Chain A
Amino acid sequence: MTDFNYHEIDDVIHSRIRTAIMAVLISVDEAEFTFIREKINATDGNLSVHLKKLEEKGYISVRKEFVERKPLSRYRITDTGRKAFEEYIKKLENIIKSNLK
């Protein structure tokens, strides 16, 4: 028996697609919607829902503008998001470590 608790992990990040979004955004300064979509192979609708969830939590921010009459949404990770993602990675590492004990 161990005192390890898997439920301490951040539920907002702990979803395949949201983890991927966070991993993309932590690697770049700012990314346009289509770039994220291509990098994680997601559909427009699915991606929008997950981006919204991360945005509501304050993990990412969005900047919307029109370029040549086309709407563009640019996303970037916030400081809160960066801290949360780092924390998430740390938790995963701790899980692995506790298995080695």
Chain B
Amino acid sequence: MIDSNQVHDAADRAEQELSFIKKVMEDSKKVTVDNGMGFIIWGIISISGIIFTYIDYYMNIGIGSLYIWISVFAVGILYILISVYRGGKRERVKTLAGSILGSVWISCLVASGFMLLIPVFVDLMPSNVTLTTVLFTIGIGYYISSSVADFKWIRYNAYVWWLTGFLNLILIFPHSQMIYLGSLLIFFQIIPGLIIYKRWKKEISAGKSALKL
């Protein structure tokens, strides 16, 4: 049995302890779960796809946009496999948010890849409709990322990709479609990737926490 002064002291210490725990937990959760490289690399790969499609269309090479985009996806997926293998080993911290983010984008890419393959096997959808479904899927990826990774501004990217998917059904001329998609990739894929990368780099170089033990 102890007196009320001791209880008061203990309560003070308990309160300090709880606020300390809260501070450490908040600080530890402030981890940028993505370094943005995936956004940048996929942006560059997709722009290469647009350029190849443009060259193929206007120079009448005859490869066909579908096969170009299947190749683009193959390169992108190869990049993901390599980065998952190498990045996973170097990762200093694993978070639930990071795992969810990775799973969301991999499932979006697998779904998009299959959508691109649909016209190869069945004459079900015109190519611009296929592209629209891919753009809608990318929008889903961005929308979930904004909540999971605490990048609220990325939600606007989702709206842009969904709108693009819709506009893609109207803009039927390959020339304007390609210019539009190219600009979109620069402004809503590569630049956000660079912003995330900068934030990640800053966090890595800042390193130490302000916590005093």
Seen from chain A, the residues whose Cβ lies within 8 Å of a Cβ on chain B are 1-6, 16-17, 19-20, 23-24, 26-32, 34-35, 38-42, 65, 67, 89, 92-93, 95-96, 98-100
Q: Which residues of B contact A (CB under 8 A)?
A: 1-4, 6-8, 10-11, 14-15, 17-18, 20-21, 24-25, 27-29, 31, 89-96, 98-99, 207-209, 211-213
Can you offer 24 A-B residue contacts whose CB atoms are under 8 A? A1-B2, A4-B2, A6-B6, A17-B213, A20-B24, A20-B213, A23-B20, A23-B24, A24-B25, A26-B25, A28-B31, A31-B92, A31-B93, A32-B91, A32-B92, A34-B92, A40-B213, A41-B209, A65-B89, A95-B7, A96-B14, A96-B15, A96-B18, A99-B7
List 14 additional contacts besides A39-B209, A89-B21; criterion CB under 8 Å: A2-B3, A2-B4, A2-B7, A20-B211, A20-B213, A24-B24, A27-B24, A27-B25, A27-B28, A31-B28, A41-B209, A89-B18, A93-B14, A95-B11
The verdict on A23 contacting B94 (CB below 8 Å), with A1-B4, A39-B211, A67-B89 known, is no
Q: Which residue of B lies closest to A30 (CB)?
A: B94
* Bound complex: CA A6 to CA B8 (Å): 11
Chain A residues whose C-beta falls within 8 Å of the C-beta of B92 in the assembled complex:
31-32, 34-35
A53 to chain B, nearest CB (A): 15
Query: Taking chain B's interface residues, is the majority helix, strand, or loop, or is none over half, making it mixed?
Result: helix
How many residue pairs link A and B with beta carbons under 8 A? The number is: 108
The interface residues of chain A lying within 8 Å CB-to-CB of B2 are: 1-2, 4-6
The CA of A35 and the CA of B24, in the complex, are separated in Å by 13
Residue of A26, A27, A38, A93 most packed against chain B (CB within 10 A): A27
Is A28's CB under 8 angstroms from B93's CB? Answer: yes
Q: Is the interface of A mostly helix, strand, loop or mixed?
A: helix
- What distance in Å separates the Cβ of B26 from its nearest Cβ neighbour in chain A? 8
A98 to B98, CA, bound (A): 40
Closest 5 CB pairs of A and B: A99-B11, A23-B24, A27-B28, A95-B14, A29-B94
Residue of A nearest to B89 (CB): A67
Give the distance to chain B from A40, nearest Cβ to Cβ, in Å: 6
Q: In the complex, A44→B27 CA distance in Å?
A: 20
Residue of chain A at shortest CB distance from B17: A92
Contact of B21 among A6, A19, A38 (CB under 8 A): A19
The smallest C-beta distance from A94 to any residue of chain B, in angstroms, reads 8
Residues of chain B contacted by A3 (CB below 8 angstroms) = 1
How far is B15's CA from A89's CA once the two chains are assembled, in angstroms?
A: 10
